[in-house]
Amino acid sequence: MKQGIITLFFFAFVLTLTAQVKCSSYTYQQQQLSDPDRNATIQGVERFIQDRLTAAQSGRPSGRPDGIIIKIPVVVHIVYHTPVEKISDAQVISQINALNLYFRRRNADTASAPAYFRSLGADCEIEFQLAISDPRRRATSGIERKYTPVTKWGADDKVKFSSETGLDAWDSKSYLNIWVCNLDKFAGYASFPGGEEKKDGLVISYTAFGTTGTAAGYSLGKTAVHEIGHWLGLKHTWGDDYCGDDGVGDTPKQASYTIGCPNTIRITCSNAPYGDMYMNYMDLTNDACINMFTKGQKARMLALFDPGGARSTLLSSKGLNMPLFMDIPLPGEEDPKWLHPQLYPNPASSEMTLDLSYDFRWIGKIIFVTNLQGQNVMNVQVTSKNQRINISKLQAGVYFLAAKKEDGESMKLKFVKL
Ligand SMILES: [Zn+2]
């Protein structure tokens, strides 16, 4: 065990050296499990999966019609700060196409799996399609975009809420929600079945989403494949522990995760003669070197669609039904012209306007006005995105406006009172 701890420590060290880590879902799930109620729900999902797998082994029917291909309606919420983060429809569609190739095992690179593992590979019989009806049955492209003043997002779910300048989830019983944003440090993370409905789905970095505009190592759309694996109840192949258990019978035990792109047999955890299955989507190997889900992983994922399963409600989603309302969508808010405060006119004699429209989180903050000697001469509470400031009572001279908000952004502006 001591050796195991050293190995894990070593791998953690290597991970911190790489610029972007593929997945933070394990840490995310551990946070969820610290809530006793959530823990009970997630454990209940695991019991359900085990029960369904046992039933399948004993030949009992799943309750799902045989031979159907599951179609999952997808909504992509693009939350951008800079133009490059505002990814195109084409980039989104390239991701959906990639998902369908990999989940149906129609990708050419399945031939890259070594012969001794290839027969374990599975067509998961799951497909993905951008929604054509939104939760109110209005026509949609399945893609929505919103400007945010936030420059980087953490794996803390804030991007999933409009109140945090992100975008709210669509009903997660009926849609797979995918948020694409500038995710800090990680390529992606996913909620597991049994998580909170408003936080259900994946968050993927715009540099790892789709097959265009993506970063080296993440350019084939497989981050989303991996994260959907989690969303459908799969664990990492190393079971998030030294020689841990991923709950799947046909994935070999392996010591820890794989990074980069190995091409030799790697024996760990007594898994001779074939070693680690590092070409599995649920490892952290580069996109170019992962190419399979196993039959055991497929069985776990499909169990969730059995009657009563955590993802079974998606089968009756209306997201892919024809919309009932073809109303023309209202134009979205225009992108702000500036990404910082604007003060005008300057110089001024009686009143100035402070334009804070790029970030509504300034509302409620106090602005301190100081003179050249550093004395506080006036305070103004921000009540509007275009805040008027009455300076008629100030003496002529040079002044500064200063304020700060929770994310650490501060403003300091100079003005001249005539
Ligand atoms: Zn993962």
Q: Is 227 a catalytic residue?
A: yes
Instruction: Say if CB 294 and CB 301 are below 8 A apart.
Output: no
User: In Å, what is the CA distance from 254 to each residue of 28, 270, 283, 326, 408?
Assistant: 22, 9, 10, 52, 42
Task: For residues 334 and 345, give the distance between their C-alpha atoms in angstroms, rounded to a whole number.
Answer: 23
Q: How far apart are CA 389 and CA 379, in angstroms?
A: 10
Catalytic, out of 125, 144, 227, 409: 227
Ligand 1 centroid to 301 CA: how many Å? Answer: 15
Cα 105 to Cα 290: distance, rounded to the nearest angstrom? 12
Expressed in angstroms and rounded, the spacing between residue 34 Cα and the centre of ligand 1 is 19
DSSP string, 361-384: GGTTPEEEEEETT--EEEEEE--S
Look-up: residue for tokens 């650490």?
Answer: 408
Domains by residue range for the chain, with CATH? 2-316 (3.40.390.10), 342-417 (2.60.40.3580)
Whole-number Cα distances in Å, 262 to 19, 227, 258, 275, 371 = 19, 21, 8, 12, 63
Report the C-alpha gap between 227 and 190 in whole angstroms: 5
Separation of CA 21 and ligand 1 centre (Å): 10
- Report how far residue 86's alpha carbon sits from residue 206's, in angstroms, rounded to the nearest whole number: 8
Q: What is the pLDDT along the chain (418 residues), one digit of tens a residue?
A: 444 444 444 444 444 444 578 899 999 999 999 999 999 999 999 999 999 999 988 888 888 777 789 999 999 999 999 989 999 999 999 999 999 999 999 998 888 889 999 999 999 999 999 999 999 999 999 999 999 999 999 999 999 999 999 999 999 999 999 999 999 999 999 999 999 999 999 999 999 999 987 787 788 999 999 999 999 999 999 999 999 999 999 999 999 999 889 989 999 999 999 999 999 999 999 989 999 999 999 999 999 999 999 999 999 999 999 999 886 656 666 777 778 899 999 999 999 999 998 888 899 999 999 999 999 999 999 999 899 999 999 999 999 999 998 888 899 999 999 9
Q: Find residue 257's DSSP bridge partners.
A: none
Q: Cα separations (Å) of 132 from 101, 319, 321, 357?
A: 21, 6, 7, 32
Q: Tell me the CA–centroid distance for residue 407 and ligand 1, in Å.
A: 28
Ligand 1 centroid vs 297 CA: distance in angstroms? 14
